[in-house]
Amino acid sequence: MNFSKLSNIVNDINAVLLPRLCFGCNARLYRGEQHLCAFCRNQIPLTDYDYVVENAVDRIFYGRIDIKKASSFLFYMEKGITKNIIHHLKYNNQPVIGDFLGTWYGQILQQTKQLQNIDYVIPVPLHRSKLKKRGYNQVDSFGKRIAQSLQSRFLSTCLVKTANTKTQTKKGRFFRSKYTSDLYKIIDKEVLSNKSVLLVDDVITTGATIEACAKALDKVKNIKIYILTMAVVP
Ligand SMILES: [Zn+2]
């Protein structure tokens, strides 16, 4: 018996003893399937937004923050594949999902001329006590893969969250802006001046978190801000 046959048998035995499950629907994965089953891979709701044409994510931020362009990879519904995989990413210690989504979207973005001059990919930060509790920032693995694809640098130390509170989403926009303007701050403005940065996050709902981060970034001289998220609530 040759080695590859033997290793297939070992893999099959492993699959029975330790079945790998689809992050989208919990079905057992077959040999050759990674993270998602064939059905979920086919059904996952891609936005098909790119960085060339104006899209619904851009429009979320009109009149709120000064950004060059925004996009999201997936639609996030009340129920479904996107919600399930992001739940695994955030709460079930599965940062590998960020690698998977970041590699996939990164390959698509490589074709995009708009993003060829990004200097830094910056993740929306967690407050340090939240980071300690979760053990990782769920956006990091995604951001690192995107940075690799764009041949830019991943920078997670420059933007920090100053208080362990949720971004206020229910209050009015005026109150929210005032309240959240100091929730994030820049540690080193010099590093970012005259640079193009891509701010990355998991899901955009109201856009309040991105807005607060972008306002902090916007205090840097001559910075260009782009936005990218794994998903957006349509
Ligand atoms: Zn599935």
Identify the CATH number of the domain in which residue 69 sits.
3.40.50.2020
Please give the distance, rounded to the nearest whole angstrom, from the Cα atom of residue 88 to the centre of ligand 1.
13
Percent above pLDDT 90 for the chain: 75
pLDDT of residue 113: 76
Res 43 pLDDT > 60: yes
Please give the distance, rounded to the nearest whole angstrom, from the Cα atom of residue 160 to the centre of ligand 1.
35
Please give the distance, rounded to the nearest whole angstrom, from the Cα atom of residue 22 to the centre of ligand 1.
5
Q: What pLDDT digit, counting tens, does each position of 91-145 carry? A: 999 999 999 999 999 999 988 877 889 999 999 999 999 999 999 999 999 999 9
Please give the distance, rounded to the nearest whole angstrom, from the Cα atom of residue 85 to the centre of ligand 1.
10
pLDDT of residue 112: 80
Res 166 pLDDT > 80: no
Give me the number of domains the chain comprises.
Answer: 2
Of 45-49, 173-177, 206-210, the poorest mean pLDDT is in: 173-177
pLDDT of residue 164: 86
Residue corresponding to tokens 């764009």: 150
pLDDT of residue 229: 98
Q: Are residues 29 and 89 in the same domain?
A: no
Please give the distance, rounded to the nearest whole angstrom, from the Cα atom of residue 100 to the centre of ligand 1.
15
For residue 184, give the 3-state DSSP assignment: strand
Q: Are residues 79 and 25 in the same domain?
A: no
Q: How many other C-beta atoms can be found within 10 angstroms of the C-beta atom of residue 233?
A: 15
Res 15 pLDDT > 80: no
In this prediction, residue 161 has a pLDDT band, given cuts at 50, 70 and 90, of very high
Res 154 pLDDT > 90: yes
Residue 127 carries which side chain, given as an amino acid letter? Answer: H
In this prediction, residue 83 has a pLDDT band, given cuts at 50, 70 and 90, of very high
Please give the distance, rounded to the nearest whole angstrom, from the Cα atom of residue 96 to the centre of ligand 1.
16
Please give the distance, rounded to the nearest whole angstrom, from the Cα atom of residue 169 to the centre of ligand 1.
32
Please give the distance, rounded to the nearest whole angstrom, from the Cα atom of residue 138 to the centre of ligand 1.
21
Instruction: Give the 3-state DSSP-derived string for 85-138, with helices as H, strands as E and coil as C.
Output: HHHHHHHCCCCHHHHHHHHHHHHHHCCCHHHCCCCEEEECCCCHHHHHHHCCCC
Task: Find the domain containing 3 and state its range.
Answer: 1-43
Res 64 pLDDT > 60: yes
Contact predicate 115/177, CB 8 Å: no
Q: Are residues 160 and 106 in the same domain?
A: yes
Q: Is 70 left (phi over 0), alpha (psi -120 to 50) or beta?
A: beta
Please give the distance, rounded to the nearest whole angstrom, from the Cα atom of residue 183 to the centre of ligand 1.
37
Q: Are residues 78 and 19 in the same domain?
A: no
Percent above pLDDT 70 for the chain: 89
Q: What pLDDT digit, counting tens, does each position of 202-229 carry? A: 999 999 999 999 999 999 999 999 999 9
In this prediction, residue 52 has a pLDDT band, given cuts at 50, 70 and 90, of confident
Q: Are residues 189 and 203 in the same domain?
A: yes
Q: Are residues 28 and 142 in the same domain?
A: no
d(C-alpha 119, C-alpha 150), whole Å: 9
Q: Are residues 6 and 94 in the same domain?
A: no
Q: Are residues 96 and 106 in the same domain?
A: yes
Encode 32-53: b = buried (16+ Cβ within 10 Å), e = exposed: ebebbbeebeeebeebebebee
What torsion do the CA atoms of 138, 107, 111, 46 make, to the nearest 10 degrees?
Answer: -70
Q: Are residues 38 and 88 in the same domain?
A: no
Q: Are residues 55 and 139 in the same domain?
A: yes
Res 173 pLDDT > 70: no
Distances (CA, A) of 222 to 11, 51, 74: 53, 21, 30
Q: Are residues 134 and 64 in the same domain?
A: yes
Res 187 pLDDT > 60: yes
In this prediction, residue 232 has a pLDDT band, given cuts at 50, 70 and 90, of very high
d(C-alpha 169, C-alpha 178), whole Å: 12
Q: Are residues 115 and 223 in the same domain?
A: yes
**Residue 140 token pair:** 């990091």
